[in-house]
A and B are shown apart, each in its own frame.
Chain A
Amino acid sequence: MSIDKDKIKHISKLARISVEEKKIDGLAKDLSSIFKFIEQLNELNTDKVEPLSSILNTSLRLRKDEVNDGKIRDKILKNSPQKNEEFFVVPKVIE
């Protein structure tokens, strides 16, 4: 499948990545060639194959839902690009 400019705009919106207008053509070209490569898979008939869900032949372990650390608010907040006392700060979302 070839990926056109509109598709790039749509996907980048979904991925929350702004793409500069001048870079859209290059991206469309790259992604088109990658999808052409990927679509080799269509040669294979997989109607009777179950999709692989895990390479380990076991189901995921469960653990007790209990607090095992905590009280590290200030440590966590240290890496925040913008904070106010004990809160993360984001641009205004409600008028």
Chain B
Amino acid sequence: MSDISKKDLTEIVSLIKKKEIKSEEVTNSFIKNINNDIKLNSFITNCSDLALEKAKNFDKNPNLETLLPGIPIAIKDLFCTEGVRTTAGSKMLENFIPNYESTITKNLWNEGAFLLGKLNCDEYAMGSSNETSYFGNVMNPIAENTVPGGSSGGSASALTADLTPTTIGTDTGGSIRQPASFTGTVGLKPTYGLCSRWGIVAFASSLDQAGPMTKTVQDCALMLEAMASFDEKDSTSINKKKENYSKKLTDNIKGLKIGIPKEYRVDGMPKEIDQLWEKGKKILKESGAEIIDISLPNTKYALPTYYIVAPAEASSNLARYDGVKYGYRSSKGNNLIEMYENTRSEGFGDEVKRRILIGTYVLSSGYYDAYYIKAQKVRQLIKNDFDQSFKKVDAILTPSTPSAAFKIGEKKDDPISMYLNDIFTVPVNLAGLPAISIPAGTDSKNYPLGLQLIGKPLDEQKLLNIAFAAEKKINFTQTLDRWWEK
């Protein structure tokens, strides 16, 4: 059989269900790629041995009635996995071995999948280039010394290089969609509350949401189906019945209304991004959708709002890392307070510390109203903008990112220019909406560029359908020379 690892998830599932291949063969094809990779650094923990054992067990008595029968999956190292260390890309959790399983991963394993490894990410998911990880930079398979985006950079890199058939990431301000765009893959951030947050290392709780990262829209629908569930253990989990996204997937989008927000045409946006956006409009029109100009007037305030809300929540979430119950502890300090201060200084990296300090400041006495309450008010305005627009349209089309992937080190010293990467993705998190990035073209260097579709809350099916229709017409392909192999 031709190289299994190059096939998409849906095809592999179908071959296993038809008993044309065994889980062990599938698993070995990915392990071979993982072992040949010496440059990407997309894995923090390799679970090949464990995966092979699971695959063999599956083949002995295969249950083919599940969504992901015998499928090995490597996941972002932000999901707690019982008995397998979970680092969040931080020195603080370098040796942390959870004694429980996150709901999302448990859902995947219940559908017949098993763990292939834990993937690199920005430290505590704080970053847009995977350069803040304690475990080192990750490279983008599209070109050497190029970032894969972040924070789910290891996930995007491993998926693109065929080191895993599918993966999952988390998205607080663009951390699934931006790396998907940078690597020519598909990434979906679901509606806030659709996928359980239980067992995910917390960054900003009112924004964090887990989602699938896949090679195709069909795969994305299948993965979302497996991941989404109501969870008692997550107080913001939405109680709704399970959907069959993959079965209901259709490219018939006739009559749907697609909004084009004029505020997303930002100053200095490269011509190729604009052309890509035009191409997206044209394709959806050809598929029978109606294109409507809309306005989201408070768009420019989304990023400043995000840089108050997210650090504020991060500073309180990360207060738990005190060197007492788990995680790193400094050996320096003459008393309890000094132990705390040294532990947090040595255990956290620069970007995480920067955000904790911002968050601490905006929540501190005398500044809370001026910053935090102000941001929550603007957040309401941003949400209102979307609510108004969704009275007129079914979905919104925008570019995913203001540029293609950049070089490692290029933006590292300028936090604002790094933050600007998320200018098109952040508003979605602030409003709790679902959004998907699909590969749609390339820039002058032949680096992939993505288009983003934003939907109404819990309208993932329609979003997937539109993405599916667009994907068919765009017919994006990329050939990689596998420079990262020995």
Residue numbers of A with Cβ under 8 A of B are 3, 7-8, 11-12, 14-20, 27, 30-31, 33-35, 37-42, 44, 46, 49-56, 60-61, 63, 72, 75-76, 78-82, 88, 90-93
Contact = CB atoms under 8 A, between A and B. Distances in A.
A17 B353 contact: yes
Contact of A76 (B235, B325, B336): B325
A60 to B, nearest CB: 5
Contacts of B303: 37
Given A11-B360, A31-B357, A51 B304 contact: no
Main secondary structure of the interface of B (DSSP, over half): helix
Interface stretch (B217-225, B288-296, B342-350): B342-350
Contact of B305 (A8, A41, A81): A41
Contacts of A39: 304
Contacts of B480: none
A37 B416 contact: yes
Interface of B: 96-97, 99, 192-193, 206, 232, 235-236, 238, 298, 300-301, 303-305, 307-308, 315, 319, 322-329, 333-342, 344-345, 348, 353-354, 356-358, 360-361, 364, 371, 373-381, 383, 415-416, 419, 430-432
A92 B337 CA distance: 10
A87 to B, nearest CB: 11
A55 B432 contact: yes
A41 B304 contact: yes
Contact of B354 (A30, A72, A90): A30
29 contacts: A7-B361, A16-B319, A16-B344, A17-B345, A17-B353, A17-B357, A27-B357, A30-B415, A34-B358, A38-B308, A40-B301, A41-B378, A49-B377, A51-B376, A52-B377, A52-B383, A53-B376, A54-B236, A56-B193, A56-B238, A56-B432, A76-B325, A79-B99, A79-B325, A81-B324, A90-B339, A91-B335, A92-B336, A93-B336
Contact of A55 (B323, B329, B375, B431): B431
Given A34-B307, A81-B326, 15 more contacts: A15-B356, A16-B322, A18-B338, A20-B345, A27-B357, A30-B354, A33-B415, A44-B381, A51-B377, A52-B379, A56-B238, A80-B324, A81-B324, A81-B328, A92-B336
Contact of A41 (B232, B235, B334, B374): B374
Contacts of B192: 55-56
A92 B335 contact: yes
A76 to B, nearest CB: 7
A69 B337 CA distance: 32
Contacts of A91: 333-336, 338-339
A51 B378 CA distance: 8
B60 to A, nearest CB: 30
A30 B361 CA distance: 14
Question: What 7 A-B pairs are tightest by C-beta distance, nearest first?
Answer: A55-B432, A51-B376, A79-B326, A81-B329, A18-B341, A46-B377, A52-B380
Contact of B236 (A12, A37, A56): A56
A34 B416 contact: yes
A83 B326 CA distance: 10
Contacts of A17: 341, 344-345, 348, 353, 356-357
Nearest to B323: A81
B337 A16 contact: yes
Most buried by A among B96, B238, B334, B371: B371
Contacts of A16: 319, 322, 337, 340-341, 344
A75 to B, nearest CB: 4
A56 B239 CA distance: 12
